[in-house]
């Protein structure tokens, strides 16, 4: 059984009422309303003793209605005005049907129909050609396409199946309301004024046909006639009836039956149990459905009698049923309930009289189903209710803190087309602000994020007090005025806590207040609330950064985010924000970060804004201040739980960040100004600065060479190497400087090696080339780099280099230089001398065979083996170097033969590919009458077909569907290449 929601919302509110005891003491039996204009609504009321009363309601009262209970408050304005009444007969007025567009009423009383004008000004006309009528209903159309034109069939037929129709024909094609004859040529059929009546077991379809109405008012009833369109056999005991499109649904004590007004055929929709309440029918005009009542259960069906949607379960069997918007209204025993058609929930319960009001309650609504007015009549009074505007319903729920209900209502109204999507966003924002001031910050931001119309600037006043740089960007939109004006989060928290304390005090005093009990039981502290507020607003601004915002709003979002991160002392996020592309305003953050000691963050901010000089000055200060200790990088704190805290030198960090700035700078003065202190900390960073490809314009080499500290030789060498090798510099000066620098370093390295030999004469292996002396900049020893450069470059001055190393024992380097000078014989003599020294070191030392072999191996490719043999001393045993010389000869022969093999293999692969293509294109496929498509299994016959490389055959239709790259087997030949054995494999 349906139960009203514990937080039911207000959909209907009392508009006005009228006490019937002032006009008549007869109980009300029928009720109808009609909108005659935008400013006036008419109410028709039929009594038990044949009276027909007319009341008027001004629609302007819909905008200024009282929400008081009309049964208990005498202050409700009695805006229902009595107009007039007429006496139709002496028995009960059972039905009132309004034809508002022509200003006519059809009243059923004592089995007869009476025609009355809409203002009750003309005499009542009795339609005596029909008698014994038990039920009447008007035909309503959902659309013209769903309805058949019954008038055409009636007008073209010359046969009449009833006495009444023959009677109408005898009167000249129609009978006027006063019984006088009129010509058919003067009649004008409208087609919408069709109704049906039940007389015994007959269902009669009748049309009210208008004549030429030129010069006549709506109140002139002598201008039309009634034409019987069709008579259909019916069932006995009809109690209610509705007519929608071509379907007529009738109800009896046994159940519900559907008749076709076109064919006259009938069918049972469903039967009722033996013991049940009287059946009732209600046409739901908004969706063009029908409500069929079974006891207290309402079944919604379409025009064809098919159930649609769910059932409505009422609290009890209603006296009367109405419809307003998306709701079904039922009334009984002085109570009116609203049920939502789709959800079946009881939305609202209204009491307008106590138990036992003295008779049934009757509900009347506007026939279009989308009206805003509904009328309820009891035996003693008439009450008008208006549907609250959607916004007022939403406001009412928000005032009661029913936020979920409010959002659900807006979503429901949006689906029904009553509200726009922007209104849903508006309400989400409104709910967010209400939750914000109720100290539910996380939920508030969740609603902010669901609003597509809310601007990030609307939260600016919660972060920075007015006036500020962005005060004019804040929309002056208080929404519906349900929440206080924006204030800083500290004030919001303080005011919220004060409001909670006030609510607790009032509750103890017995005053009902709207507070969240669960929140009160676990009320956080002020600091926790403030932290939650800052984190929640931070989350909203972080998401807002991805939206399309104006430049000024972007500045506000990023700058205020920095304020929030600073309040949370979230250094990681601060540095992450200013290190990336941002719109922070430097002027707003300089003093904040400087005063709080966040110099790293300030340096990142300067760097992101192109203020490199200020950023480098800060990094230089940080490097100087961290000279005596270790510094923890905030970016590594998140990984401290796995692998230990990553501690790095503060000086290294400062130098690394400065290096990033200098690598992109083309300002040579600025770069060279800071190069020195960076190089003092880490020479690798200095090299990265000088050799960076990120800058637009490279630094002047002469200025760089002059600025490099002479003591930092490796930086100079690496820079010169980059100029020569990467920048393809052909300046002989740079080549010579580089060669001289390498030679000087090689001499120092050799001297250090000799000194180490003297100190430690016991060595595992003697070599002519010094041990690898590497650094963070170079990965190869200096002599190796010198020899490679001397061999590869032709732009240095070999004489200058030779003068430098002439008195040294760098024999390999001398040999290269002499060769550069064209003194080949001297080179071979040096090599021979070296070989002799290695093989016969004198002083009782062991021959250095490996050194000799290495000498020949390193320089053998540039020398002719025959010349080497000629220059060797006759006394030198040839077998010592024979292996190396033999390898030199074999290498030359091997290189020659390998080249020939590669050439021939390339030709063979080309020939194989050409042959494979030719074979694929020359393949023949035999198709007969039994051949089938591998995809659809249709016979190929004479159809076009295609064959894939995996030999599957498909018809052309399947080929177009499959595509040329994927066969029936699912193999994609573009991704899974099919390789067939070619000439090289098969042969």
> SS3 for 693-756, per residue?
CCCCCCCCHHHHHHHCCCCCHHHHHHHHHHHHHHCCCCCHHHHHHHHHHHHHHHHHHHHHHHHH
Of 367-381, 512-526, 846-860, the range with the lowest mean pLDDT is 846-860
The pLDDT of residue 186: 35
pLDDT-derived band at 565, boundaries 50, 70, 90: very high
The percentage of residues in the chain with a pLDDT greater than 70, rounded to a whole number, is 79
- Say whether 669 sits in a helix, a strand or coil: helix
3-40 core/surface letters (b: 16 or more CB in 10 A; e: else) = eeeeebbbbbbbbbbbebeeebebbbbbbbbbbeeeee
> 643 pLDDT exceeds 50?
no
What stretches of 341-426 adopt beta strand conformation (E)?
346-351, 362-365, 373-377, 381-387
CA dihedral 461→465→470→474, nearest 10 degrees, is: 30
- The mean pLDDT of 888-897, rounded to a whole number, is 74
* Arithmetic mean of pLDDT over the chain: 82
> 66 pLDDT exceeds 60?
no
Of 211-220, 373-382, 515-524, the range with the lowest mean pLDDT is 211-220
Residue of 338, 329, 339, 333 whose CA lies nearest to 375: 329
More confident residue, 356 or 478: 478
Q: Which helix (H) or strand (E) holds 880?
A: helix 879-921
pLDDT-derived band at 642, boundaries 50, 70, 90: very low
pLDDT-derived band at 539, boundaries 50, 70, 90: very high
The pLDDT of residue 184: 41
DSSP 8-class letter at 147? -
Residues in the chain: 987
pLDDT-derived band at 425, boundaries 50, 70, 90: very high
How far CA 240 is from CA of 91, 329, 365, in Å, comes to: 19, 18, 17
pLDDT-derived band at 660, boundaries 50, 70, 90: very high
The pLDDT of residue 163: 41
The pLDDT of residue 407: 93
Residues whose CB falls within 8 Å of the CB of residue 585, separated by 6 or more in sequence, listed in order? 469, 555, 559
pLDDT-derived band at 839, boundaries 50, 70, 90: low
Structural contact between residues 75 and 54, judged by C-beta atoms closer than 8 angstroms: no
pLDDT by residue (tens digit) across 758-771? 665 444 444 444 44
pLDDT-derived band at 167, boundaries 50, 70, 90: very low
Q: How many other β-carbons are positioned within 10 Å of the β-carbon of residue 301? A: 21
123-135 core/surface letters (b: 16 or more CB in 10 A; e: else) = ebbbbebbeebbb
The pLDDT of residue 212: 55
pLDDT by residue (tens digit) across 348-388? 999 887 655 667 889 999 877 667 889 999 888 889 999 89
Residue 265's Cβ-count burial label (10 Å; 0-12, 13-18, 19+) is: exposed
The pLDDT of residue 88: 94
Q: Is the peptide bond before 987 cis (omega within 30 degrees of 0)?
A: no
> 641 pLDDT exceeds 50?
no
pLDDT-derived band at 872, boundaries 50, 70, 90: low
- Say whether 339 sits in a helix, a strand or coil: strand
> 627 pLDDT exceeds 90?
no
More confident residue, 250 or 880: 250
How far CA 924 is from CA of 231, 359, 944, in Å, comes to: 78, 96, 15
- The mean pLDDT of 290-305, rounded to a whole number, is 92
The pLDDT of residue 644: 38
> 724 pLDDT exceeds 50?
yes
Angle (CA) 665-667-672 rounded to 5° is 95
- The mean pLDDT of 38-67, rounded to a whole number, is 78
pLDDT-derived band at 27, boundaries 50, 70, 90: confident
CA count, 13 A, side-chain hemisphere, 308: 14
Structural contact between residues 176 and 220, judged by C-beta atoms closer than 8 angstroms: no
Most confident of 514-523, 696-705, 777-786, 823-832: 696-705
Structural contact between residues 464 and 588, judged by C-beta atoms closer than 8 angstroms: no
Q: What residue has token string 């559907």? A: 258
Cα–Cα distance for residue pair 983/578, rounded to 1 Å: 64
- Say whether 265 sits in a helix, a strand or coil: coil
Q: How many other β-carbons are positioned within 10 Å of the β-carbon of residue 918? A: 9
> 628 pLDDT exceeds 70?
no
Dihedral of alpha carbons 229, 232, 235, 241, sign = negative
Strand pairing report for 630-632 and 647-649: antiparallel
The pLDDT of residue 860: 56
Backbone angles phi, psi at 399, to 5 degrees: -65, -30
- The mean pLDDT of 876-882, rounded to a whole number, is 60
Distance of CA 279 to the CA centre of its chain: 49
pLDDT-derived band at 757, boundaries 50, 70, 90: low
> 121 pLDDT exceeds 80?
yes
Rounded to 5, what percent of the chain is helix, strand, coil? 40, 20, 40
Q: How many other β-carbons are positioned within 10 Å of the β-carbon of residue 889? A: 12
How far CA 845 is from CA of 849, 854, 881, in Å, comes to: 12, 19, 19
Structural contact between residues 239 and 278, judged by C-beta atoms closer than 8 angstroms: yes
Residue of 863, 769, 856, 870 whose CA lies nearest to 811: 769
Cα–Cα distance for residue pair 800/810, rounded to 1 Å: 15
Dihedral of alpha carbons 410, 411, 417, 422, sign = positive
Structural contact between residues 104 and 138, judged by C-beta atoms closer than 8 angstroms: no
The pLDDT of residue 878: 60
């Amino acid at each position: 059984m349906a139960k009203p929601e514990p937080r039911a919302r207000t959909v209907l509110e009392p508009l006005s009422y009228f006490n019937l005891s002032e006009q008549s003491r007869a109980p009300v039996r029928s009720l109808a309303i009609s909108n005659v204009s935008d400013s006036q609504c008419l109410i028709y009321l039929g009594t038990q003793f044949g009276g027909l009363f007319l009341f008027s309601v001004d629609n302007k009262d819909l905008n200024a209605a009282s929400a008081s209970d009309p049964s208990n408050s005498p202050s409700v304005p009695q805006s229902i005005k009595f107009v007039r009444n007429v006496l139709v007969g002496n028995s009960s007025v059972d039905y009132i049907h309004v034809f508002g567009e022509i200003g006519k009423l059809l009243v059923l009383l004592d089995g007869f129909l009476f025609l009355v004008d809409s203002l009750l000004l003309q005499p009542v006309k009795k339609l005596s050609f029909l008698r014994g009528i038990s039920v009447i209903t008007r035909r309503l159309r959902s659309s013209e396409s769903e309805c058949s034109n019954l008038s055409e069939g009636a007008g073209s037929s010359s046969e009449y199946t009833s006495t009444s129709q023959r009677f109408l024909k005898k009167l000249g094609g129609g009978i006027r309301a006063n019984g006088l004859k009129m010509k058919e040529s003067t009649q004008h059929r409208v087609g919408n004024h069709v109704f049906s009546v039940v007389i015994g077991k007959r269902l009669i379809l009748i049309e009210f046909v208008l004549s030429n109405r030129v010069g006549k008012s709506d109140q002139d009833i002598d201008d039309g006639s009634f034409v019987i369109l069709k008579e259909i056999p019916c069932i006995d005991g009809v109690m209610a009836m509705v007519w929608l499109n071509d379907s007529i649904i009738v109800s009896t004590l046994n159940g519900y039956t559907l008749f076709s007004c076109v064919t006259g055929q009938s069918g049972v929709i469903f039967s009722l149990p033996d013991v049940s309440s009287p059946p009732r029918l209600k046409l739901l005009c908004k969706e063009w459905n029908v409500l069929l009542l079974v006891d207290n259960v309402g079944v919604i069906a379409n025009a064809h009698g098919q159930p649609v949607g769910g059932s409505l379960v009422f609290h009890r069997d209603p006296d009367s049923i109405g419809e307003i918007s998306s709701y079904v209204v039922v009334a009984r025993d002085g109570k009116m309930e609203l049920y939502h058609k789709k959800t079946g929930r009881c939305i609202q319960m209204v009491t307008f009289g106590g138990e036992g009001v003295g008779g049934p309650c009757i509900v009347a609504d506007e026939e279009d189903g989308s009206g805003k007015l509904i009328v309820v009549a009891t035996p003693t009074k008439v009450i008008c209710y208006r549907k609250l505007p959607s916004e007022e319903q939403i406001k009412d729920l928000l005032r009661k803190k029913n936020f979920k209900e409010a959002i659900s209502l807006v979503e429901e109204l949006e689906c029904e087309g009553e509200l726009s999507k922007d209104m849903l966003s508006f309400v989400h924002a409104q709910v967010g602000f209400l939750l914000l001031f109720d100290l539910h910050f996380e939920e508030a931001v969740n609603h902010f994020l669901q609003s597509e119309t809310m601007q990030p600037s609307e939260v600016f006043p919660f972060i920075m007090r007015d006036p500020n740089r962005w005060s004019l960007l804040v929309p002056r939109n208080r929404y519906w005025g349900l929440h206080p004006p924006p204030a800083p989060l500290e004030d919001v928290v303080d005011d919220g806590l004060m409001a909670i304390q006030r609510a607790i005090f009032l509750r103890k005093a017995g005053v009902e207040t709207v507070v969240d009990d669960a929140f009160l039981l676990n009320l956080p502290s002020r600091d926790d609330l403030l932290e939650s507020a800052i984190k929640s607003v931070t989350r909203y601004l972080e998401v807002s950064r991805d939206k399309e915002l104006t430049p000024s709003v972007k500045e506000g979002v990023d700058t205020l985010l920095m304020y929030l991160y600073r309040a949370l002392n979230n250094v990681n996020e601060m540095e992450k924000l200013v290190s990336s592309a941002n719109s922070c305003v430097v002027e707003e953050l300089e003093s904040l970060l400087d005063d709080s000691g966040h110099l790293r963050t300030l340096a990142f901010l300067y760097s992101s804004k192109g203020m490199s000089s200020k950023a480098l000055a800060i990094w230089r200060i940080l490097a100087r201040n961290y000279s005596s200790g270790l510094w923890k990088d905030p970016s590594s704190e998140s990984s401290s739980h796995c692998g230990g805290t990553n501690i790095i030198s503060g000086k290294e960090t400062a130098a690394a960040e400065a290096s990033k700035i200098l690598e992109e700078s083309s300002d040579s003065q600025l770069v060279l100004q800071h190069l020195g202190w960076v190089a003092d900390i880490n020479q690798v960073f200095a090299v990265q600065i000088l050799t960076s490809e990120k800058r637009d314009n490279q630094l002047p080499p002469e200025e760089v060479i002059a600025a490099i500290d002479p003591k930092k030789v490796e930086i100079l060498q690496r820079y010169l190497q980059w100029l020569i090798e990467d920048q393809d510099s052909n300046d002989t000066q740079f080549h010579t400087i580089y060669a001289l620098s390498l030679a000087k370093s090689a001499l120092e390295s050799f001297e250090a090696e000799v000194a180490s030999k003297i100190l430690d004469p016991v060595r595992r292996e003697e070599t002519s080339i010094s041990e690898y002396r590497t650094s963070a900049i170079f990965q190869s020893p200096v002599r190796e780099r010198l020899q490679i450069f001397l061999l590869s470059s032709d732009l240095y001055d070999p004489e200058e280099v030779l003068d430098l190393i002439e008195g040294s024992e760098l024999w390999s380097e001398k040999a290269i230089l002499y060769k550069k000078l064209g003194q080949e014989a001297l080179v071979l003599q040096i090599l021979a001398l070296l070989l002799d020294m290695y093989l016969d070191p004198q002083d009782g030392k062991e021959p250095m065979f490996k050194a000799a072999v290495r000498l020949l191996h390193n320089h053998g490719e540039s020398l002719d083996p025959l010349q080497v043999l000629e220059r060797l001393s006759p006394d030198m045993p040839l077998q010592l170097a024979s292996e190396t010389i033999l390898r030199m000869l074999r290498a030359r022969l091997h290189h020659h033969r390998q080249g020939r093999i590669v050439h021939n293999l390339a030709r063979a692969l080309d020939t194989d590919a050409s042959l494979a293509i030719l074979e694929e294109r020359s393949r023949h496929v035999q198709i007969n009458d039994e051949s089938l498509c591998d995809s659809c299994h249709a016979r190929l016959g004479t159809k076009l077909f295609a064959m894939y490389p995996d030999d599957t055959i498909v018809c052309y239709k399947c080929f177009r569907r499959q595509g040329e790259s994927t066969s029936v087997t699912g193999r994609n030949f573009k991704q899974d290449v099919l390789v067939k054995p070619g000439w090289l494999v098969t042969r």
